[in-house]
Amino acid sequence: MIHIRYFARLRDQLDTAAEMLDDHPPTLGELAERLAVRGEAWAEAFAGPVLMAVNHEMARPDTVLNDGDEVGFFPPVTGG
């Protein structure tokens, strides 16, 4: 099981802050692809640039997922 958290624009667009998945794909990129096919709002949310983290560390699409991982998806941010 993995815990998924959505932040900022993604949380608002998907109308959810978090969820748990028992049956997850082996990599972070495959997880994002699986989420994107849930419907129009999901496809739009994952169509643009989305940053990803696993266990509070920035991660790449080829990052392997393990049971107990916490995954975060969030839009790129800028500061000033």
- Identify whether 80 is part of a domain: no
Q: Is a pLDDT exceeding 70 seen at residue 79?
A: no
DSSP character at residue 48: S
Domain count, the chain: 1
- Identify whether 79 is part of a domain: no
pLDDT category of residue 78 using cuts at 50, 70 and 90:
low
- For position 25, which CATH number holds? 3.10.20.30
Question: Please, where are the H alpha helices in 8-68?
Answer: 8-14, 28-36, 40-47
Tens of pLDDT, residue by residue over 19-34, are 999 999 999 999 999 9
Pick the closest to residue 63 from 18, 31, 21, 22 (CA basis).
31
Range of the domain at 43: 2-74
Q: Is a pLDDT exceeding 70 seen at residue 66?
A: yes
Question: Whose structure tokens read 């790449």?
Answer: 60
Those residues whose C-beta lies under 8 Å from the C-beta of residue 60, and which sit 6 or more positions away, are 28, 29, 52
- Identify whether 66 is part of a domain: yes
pTM beyond cutoff 0.85: yes
- Identify whether 67 is part of a domain: yes
- Identify whether 15 is part of a domain: yes
- Identify whether 27 is part of a domain: yes
